[in-house]
Amino acid sequence: SKGGHTKQYATWLKEETQADLFECEKISIEKLLGYDLIVIAGGVYSNSLNGMSFFKKNYSVLKFKKVIFVAVGILPVKQEMEKVIIDKNYTDEMKNKYPLFQLRSGIDKSKLTIADKLLVAAWRAKINKIEDRTNDDIMLLGVIDGMTDFTKKENINYLVEYINKGRWKLTM
């Protein structure tokens, strides 16, 4: 992700699972073929999951692998959000085949591009127009204003447990 939250989660995941860590842009598909399980983590921007284009580009080879997707974003982790991310990013063939985990992060305002700042301003304006704000709306405003970062190591516990179960066990 742009703020480094995905990299932080990936580093913690590496520590907890003894996995190897690569950036999609720097790994060859040939090298990935040596792994039983591939975890693709990326930031979520406008419900689009970073890393998905890498997977789809290499789908003819990766479709035979166990793959887990990890969506890192500022919105609360909810089943409804999972459905939105899957519907926008997964093909019909991918649905029900590749699990998606959500991890909550924050915003590092110092790393935002002008386009990101405009998007954040639009979110703020949209939320400010809501008369009956939900707790999620209020929390999102806090994140937008840079007051909160939900990136915590314990957020990966369920993912680590899932990876370390039987058929998803990593082999190095």
Q: Which residue type is seen at 67? A: V
Position 154 scores a pLDDT of: 97
172 confidence band (pLDDT: 50, 70, 90): very low
User: Where does residue 51 fall: left (phi above 0), alpha (psi -120 to 50 degrees), or beta otherwise?
Assistant: left
Position 171 scores a pLDDT of: 36
pLDDT of 169 strictly over 80: no
Give the whole-angstrom CA distance, residue 50 versus residue 43.
5
Other beta carbons within 10 Å of 160: 16
3-state secondary structure of 100: strand
Question: Are 71 and 44 in contact, with CB atoms under 8 Å apart?
Answer: yes
Give the whole-angstrom CA distance, residue 92 versus residue 69.
16
CB neighbour class for 132 (10 Å; exposed up to 12, middle 13-18, buried from 19): exposed
For tokens 């089943």, the residue is: 79
Contacts of 21 (CB under 8 A, 6+ apart): 10, 11, 13, 14
State pLDDT tens for residues 47-69.
999 999 999 999 999 999 999 99
Query: Which spans in 43-153 are helix H?
Result: 52-57, 59-62, 79-89, 114-128, 135-144
Q: What is the 3-state secondary structure (H, E, C) of 28-72?
A: CHHHHCCCCEEEEEEEEECCEECCHHHHHHCHHHHCCCEEEEEEE
State pLDDT tens for residues 89-114.
999 999 999 999 999 998 877 888 89
Give the whole-angstrom CA distance, residue 28 versus residue 165.
27
